[in-house]
């Protein structure tokens, strides 16, 4: 697996154009640009300078619009930094080509991207610091129909007073344990709008920080690869961990 850090050029003068800040406001465009880090060989051969329009079929294969796995897909998170900076953290199954992805939009970056490979050694009862920005939801109206088939139902946001419990239930199935006293929960919302000035949608966004305990190393490894929760294309689900000092 690979971790990438992208420092975004959000600008510091409100009287001057700040394209990086505007770009971050449209999560559809953010996800699209990150997909561009996985160009196909024919795409690079036919358009080395990235002058042609973006076409989803030119990027991949097995990295764009696919299930996240040990060999496919990516997860990302937008992390605000002190003093107003912004970093995009991305975890991917293969090494991204950031030079190509930003060749026609280098102005969005404040510094060259940093990429490193990683592999965690996990052990039962191991304690790790963690951060997760998730879209906690639950399904309603999933009753079986007259034909016996179960309806998929609707997905709604988890109430604010149940956000820790949502994570605790997920953790129990994902190979780790979180202690309520060691977990901070910061709820909020993000707005997703595919078309500028169009009718978008509001998504529940919750940042969890704290210390977790690994209960099942193999299961937890799969959780790190696949992510947690829904709306992963909009920057949710990446569980990042670090060793305790």
Q: Looking at the domain assignment, is residue 183 inside a domain?
A: yes
The verdict on residue 46 lying in a domain is yes
Does 183 lie in the same domain as 202?
Answer: yes
Do 205 and 231 share a structural domain?
yes
148: region left, alpha or beta (phi > 0 left; psi from -120 to 50 alpha): left
178 plus 106 within the same structural domain: no
Cα angle, residue 132 at apex, residues 126 and 137 outer, rounded to 5°: 120
Q: Give mean pLDDT, residues 137-159.
A: 70
> Strand pairing partners for 114?
5
Question: Per residue in 60-107, pLDDT tens?
Answer: 767 777 778 777 889 999 999 888 899 999 999 999 999 999 999 999
Query: Same structural domain for residues 158 and 223?
Result: yes
Q: Is residue 91 part of a domain?
A: yes
The closest alpha carbon to 136, from 78, 187, 176, 200, belongs to 187
State the Cα angle at 68 between 81 and 174, rounded to 5°. Answer: 80
Say if residue 236's pLDDT is above 70.
yes
122 within some domain? no
For residue 191, pLDDT over 90 is answered with no
Taking the C-alpha atoms of residue 244 and residue 126, their distance in angstroms, rounded to an integer, is 10
Phi and psi at residue 117, to the nearest 5° = -85, 155
- What is the pTM (predicted TM-score) of this model? 0.88
Are residues 142 and 55 part of one domain? no
- The answer to whether residues 226 and 145 belong to one domain is yes
Same domain membership, residue 99 and residue 137: no
Band (195; pLDDT cuts 50, 70, 90): low
- 55: containing domain: 2-117
**90 and 6 belong to one structural domain:** yes
Please name the residues in contact with 242: beta carbons below 8 A apart, sequence gap of 6 or more: 128, 129, 130
Asked, for residue 239, whether it belongs to a domain, the answer is yes
6 and 107 housed in the same domain: yes
Say if residue 158 is in the same domain as residue 184. Answer: yes
Q: Give yes or no for a contact between 136 and 167, defined as CB atoms under 8 angstroms apart.
A: yes
Establish if 67 belongs to a structural domain.
Answer: yes
Strand 86-92 with 2-8, pairing: antiparallel
**Is-contact 126 213, C-beta < 8 A?**
yes
- Number of separate domains in the chain: 2
3-state helix, strand, coil in the chain (%, to 5): 25, 35, 40
Asked which of 117, 148, 177 is the last residue of a domain, the reply is 117
Question: Does any domain span residue 83?
Answer: yes
Residue position matching structure tokens 């909020």: 188
Question: In three state form, how does the secondary structure of 14-55 look?
Answer: CCCCCHHHHHHCCHHHHHHHHHCCCECHHHHHHCCCCCCCCC
Which domain-ending residue is among 97, 117, 137?
Answer: 117
Q: What is the CATH number of the domain that holds 160?
A: 3.30.70.1210
78 with 136, same domain: the answer is no
- My answer on whether 72 and 102 are in the same domain is yes
DSSP H helix total and E strand total for the chain: 6, 10
Give the end of a domain, one of 61, 91, 117: 117
Residues 16-57 have pLDDT tens digits of 778 898 899 889 899 999 999 999 899 999 999 999 888 888
């Amino acid at each position: 697996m690979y971790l990438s850090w992208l420092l975004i050029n959000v600008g510091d003068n409100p009287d001057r154009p700040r394209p990086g800040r505007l770009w971050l406001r449209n999560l559809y465009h953010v996800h699209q640009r990150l997909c561009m880090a996985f160009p196909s060989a024919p795409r690079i051969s036919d358009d080395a300078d990235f002058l042609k329009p973006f076409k989803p079929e030119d990027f991949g294969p097995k990295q764009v619009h696919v299930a996240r796995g040990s060999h496919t897909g990516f997860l990302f998170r937008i992390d605000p930094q002190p003093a107003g900076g912004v970093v995009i953290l991305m975890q991917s199954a293969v090494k991204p080509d950031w030079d190509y992805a930003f060749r026609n939009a280098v102005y969005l970056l404040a510094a060259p991207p940093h990429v490193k490979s990683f592999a965690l050694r996990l052990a039962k009862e191991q304690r790790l610091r963690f951060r997760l920005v998730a879209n906690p939801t639950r399904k309603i109206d999933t009753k079986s129909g007259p034909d016996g088939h179960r309806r998929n139902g609707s997905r709604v946001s988890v109430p604010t007073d149940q956000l820790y419990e949502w994570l605790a239930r997920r953790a129990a199935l994902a190979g780790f344990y979180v202690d309520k006293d060691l977990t901070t929960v910061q709820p909020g919302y993000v707005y997703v709008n595919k078309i500028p000035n169009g009718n978008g949608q509001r998504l529940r966004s919750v940042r969890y920080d704290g210390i977790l305990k690994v209960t099942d190393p193999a299961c937890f490894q799969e959780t790190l690869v696949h992510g947690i929760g829904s709306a992963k294309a909009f920057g949710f689900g990446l569980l990042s961990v670090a060793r305790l000092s």
